[in-house]
Amino acid sequence: MLKLYDNPFSPFARKVRLVLAYKGLPFERIDALALDRHDDLVRANPRAEVPALDDDGFIVVNSSHIVAYLEDRTPSPPVLPGDPKQRAAARSWERMADSLLDAVIHDISIWGWPTHHREDRPPEGLYEAGRSDLLGFMGTMESALGGEGFFCGELSVADFAIFPHVTALKPLGILFDAAAHPKLAAWFRRMRSLEVVQDDLEYVKAMALEKFGSAAMPYESEKIVWRGDRIEWLFARGFHAWWMVELEAGRAIVPSWL
Ligand SMILES: N[C@@H](CCC(=O)N[C@@H](CS)C(=O)NCC(=O)O)C(=O)O
């Protein structure tokens, strides 16, 4: 059986879980960011990142590569459109979700994580910079969507990649404006009505209760893993000095293939 090095809350793992469920592929989950599974995860992925997929001993890492592998392995139902231009567009939306949406949401949400009880305040202007960039991207999504259907016509990896990030906006106080974003709001409702999406949302909720309900914290609660795009956005918005202090204080880990 397929084995997923997973984390209930990771948007990248959520994308892969949605694709696995949509393709009807059963899989075993390992809560691989739990501290007691760290060594297993590093054996599968030296960068110690989820998701990683183990298909009978063959390991694939990086969510977009896992989705591409699953599409080749089990082409039906497809998560890439048949038309070459729509396929390219779907991959491009996936990349925007994985790089831009993830980076901004990650960087401004740290102070609200249930794992890390930080006593400091975000650097001045960080939340506002993130909010402004996210609102800009919500406008881009609104313009791209039609009145019905999905980002690239049929349901595709574009939708599965974007959806987990969009669920994170409300807790950040970044709301759809029914007047400004009617198509995005309708798309979100459409996504939430899909059975695979509902099942995964139930799973995320159940895991939040299980993992954060007790005093014992299964995950890292001091250090933050800072991957490329997440650092890049901070630097692009002028918060490099704050990040250097994090690094020097030993609160920042930078993943490496080595
Ligand atoms: N490019 C990778 C990014 C994966 C990633 O950033 N995973 C995060 C969780 S969202 C992670 O495993 N971080 C390690 C940690 O927090 O310990 C992918 O698409 O799979």
Structural domain of 20: 2-73
Contact between residue 215 and residue 29 where contact means Cβ atoms under 8 Å apart: no
Residue 102 inside a domain? The answer is: yes
Cβ within 8 Å of residue 249, ≥6 positions away: none
Q: Which of 60, 9, 65, 64 has its CA nearest to residue 34?
A: 9
Q: Are both 115 and 61 inside the same structural domain?
A: no
Q: Which of 4, 5, 10, 41 to mutate to test the pocket of ligand 1 (most atoms within 8 A of CB)?
A: 10
pLDDT digits (tens, 9 = 90+) for 210-253: 999 888 899 999 999 999 999 999 999 999 999 999 999 999 99
Contact between residue 75 and residue 61 where contact means Cβ atoms under 8 Å apart: no
Residue 179 inside a domain? The answer is: yes
With pLDDT > 90 as the criterion, what percentage of the chain qualifies? 93
Residue 248 inside a domain? The answer is: no
Q: How many domains does the chain have?
A: 2
Q: Are both 16 and 100 inside the same structural domain?
A: no
Determine the Cα–Cα distance for residues 124 and 127; give it in Å rounded to an integer. 8
Atom of ligand 1 nearest to the CA of 220: 17
Write the residue with the smallest CA distance to atom 12 of ligand 1. 49
Q: Are both 98 and 206 inside the same structural domain?
A: yes
Burial of 225 (0-12, 13-18, 19+ CB in 10 A): middle
| Residue owning tokens 């709301």 | 175
pLDDT at 249 (0 to 100): 96
pLDDT digits (tens, 9 = 90+) for 29-64: 999 999 999 999 999 999 999 999 999 999 999 999
Q: Are both 180 and 135 inside the same structural domain?
A: yes
Query: What residues does ligand 1 touch, defined as CB less than 6 Å away?
Result: 10-12, 33, 48-51, 62-64, 98, 220, 225, 227
Q: Is the pLDDT of residue 177 over 90?
A: no
What's the CATH number where 116 sits?
A: 1.20.1050.10
Q: Are both 171 and 204 inside the same structural domain?
A: yes
With pLDDT > 70 as the criterion, what percentage of the chain qualifies? 100
Q: Are both 140 and 167 inside the same structural domain?
A: yes
